[in-house]
Amino acid sequence: MSLLDEIKAKAAKLKKTIVLCEGEDKRVVEAAAQITKEGIAKIVLIGNEAECKKVAPDVDLTGITLVDPLNSEKTAEYANLLYEARKAKGMTEEQARAQAKDRTMFGALMLKAGDVDGYVSGACHSTANTLRPGLQVVKTAPGIKTVSSCFLMIAPEKHKYNPDGVAVFADCAINIEPTAEQLADIAVSSARTAKAIAGIEPRVAMLSFSTKGSGNDDKFTQTVPKVQKATELAKEMAPELALDGEFQFDAAVAPEVGQLKAPGSKVAGNANVFVFPNINAGNIGYKIAQRFGGYMAIGPVCQGFAKPLNDLSRGCSVEDIVATVAVTALQAE
Ligand SMILES: CC(C)(COP(=O)(O)OP(=O)(O)OC[C@H]1O[C@@H](n2cnc3c(N)ncnc32)[C@H](O)[C@@H]1OP(=O)(O)O)[C@@H](O)C(=O)NCCC(=O)NCCS
- Whether ligand 1 lies within 6 angstroms of the CB of 140 is answered as yes
Question: What are the φ and ψ backbone dihedral angles of 277, each rounded to 5 degrees?
Answer: -70, -25
Q: What share of the chain is helix, strand, coil (3-state, %, to 5)?
A: 45, 15, 40
Domains and CATH numbers, the chain: 3-139+306-331 (3.40.50.10950), 148-297 (3.40.50.10750)
Cis peptide before 246 (omega within 30 of 0): yes
pLDDT 10s per residue in the chain (333 long)? 889 999 999 999 999 999 999 999 999 999 999 999 999 999 999 999 999 999 999 999 999 999 999 999 999 999 999 999 999 999 999 999 999 999 999 999 999 999 999 999 999 999 999 999 999 999 999 999 999 999 999 999 888 999 999 999 999 999 999 999 999 999 999 999 999 999 999 999 999 999 999 987 777 788 999 999 999 999 999 999 999 999 999 999 999 999 999 999 999 999 999 999 999 999 999 999 999 999 999 999 999 999 999 999 899 999 999 999 999 999 998
What pLDDT, on a 0 to 100 scale, did the predictor assign at position 298? 92
Q: Quick one: which of 144, 142, 143, 74 has its CA closest to 109?
A: 74
Which residue of 140, 174, 290 sits with most ligand 1 atoms within 8 Å of its CB, as the best mutation to test the pocket? 174
Instruction: Kindly give the distance from the C-alpha atom of residue 21 to the centroid of ligand 1, in angstroms, as a whole number.
Output: 19
What pLDDT, on a 0 to 100 scale, did the predictor assign at position 159? 86
Instruction: Kindly give the distance from the C-alpha atom of residue 148 to the centroid of ligand 1, in angstroms, as a whole number.
Output: 10
Nearest CA to ligand 1 atom 1: 174
Q: Are 252 and 268 in contact (CB under 8 A)?
A: yes
Of ligand 1's atoms, which has the minimum distance to the CA of residue 130?
3
Q: Under DSSP, is residue 301 helix (H, G, I), strand (E, B) or coil?
A: strand
Q: Under DSSP, is residue 195 helix (H, G, I), strand (E, B) or coil?
A: helix
Nearest CA to ligand 1 atom 31: 136
- According to DSSP, the β-strands at 118-121 and 203-207 are unpaired
- Whether ligand 1 lies within 6 angstroms of the CB of 99 is answered as no
Helices (H), the chain: 3-14, 26-38, 49-55, 75-86, 93-99, 103-113, 127-133, 180-193, 223-237, 249-253, 255-261, 279-291, 318-331
Give the per-residue SS3 of 139-191.
CECCCCCCCEEEEEEECCCCECCECCCEEEEECCCCCCCCCHHHHHHHHHHHH
Which residue of 112, 135, 183, 190 sits with most ligand 1 atoms within 8 Å of its CB, as the best mutation to test the pocket? 135
Q: Give the span between the Cα atoms of 253 and 258, in whole angstroms.
A: 7
What letter represents residue 331's amino acid? Q
Instruction: Kindly give the distance from the C-alpha atom of residue 129 to the centroid of ligand 1, in angstroms, as a whole number.
Output: 9
Q: Are 173 and 134 in contact (CB under 8 A)?
A: no
Q: Give the span between the Cα atoms of 83 and 136, in whole angstroms.
A: 11
Q: Give the span between the Cα atoms of 57 and 328, in whole angstroms.
A: 27
What single-letter DSSP state applies at residue 64?
Answer: P
What pLDDT, on a 0 to 100 scale, did the predictor assign at position 1? 81
Nearest CA to ligand 1 atom 23: 147
What pLDDT, on a 0 to 100 scale, did the predictor assign at position 215? 87
- Whether ligand 1 lies within 6 angstroms of the CB of 174 is answered as yes
Q: Which helix (H) or strand (E) holds 274?
A: strand 273-275
Tell me what the pLDDT averaged over the chain comes to: 95
Dihedral (Cα; 129, 131, 136, 141), 10-degree rounding: 180
What pLDDT, on a 0 to 100 scale, did the predictor assign at position 312? 94
Q: Are 303 and 193 in contact (CB under 8 A)?
A: yes
Q: Are 282 and 172 in contact (CB under 8 A)?
A: yes
What letter represents residue 57's amino acid? P
Nearest CA to ligand 1 atom 2: 128
- Whether ligand 1 lies within 6 angstroms of the CB of 128 is answered as yes
Residue 186, CA distances (Å) to 87, 166, 205 in order? 29, 18, 12
- Whether ligand 1 lies within 6 angstroms of the CB of 139 is answered as no
Q: Are 25 and 123 in contact (CB under 8 A)?
A: yes
Is residue 66 classed exposed, middle or buried when 0-12, 13-18 and 19+ CB atoms within 10 A define those classes?
A: middle
Q: Tell me: the pLDDT tens digits for 245-298?
A: 999 999 999 999 999 999 999 999 999 999 999 999 999 999 999 999 999 999
Of ligand 1's atoms, which has the minimum distance to the CA of residue 135?
16
- According to DSSP, the β-strands at 118-121 and 17-20 are parallel
Of ligand 1's atoms, which has the minimum distance to the CA of residue 140?
25
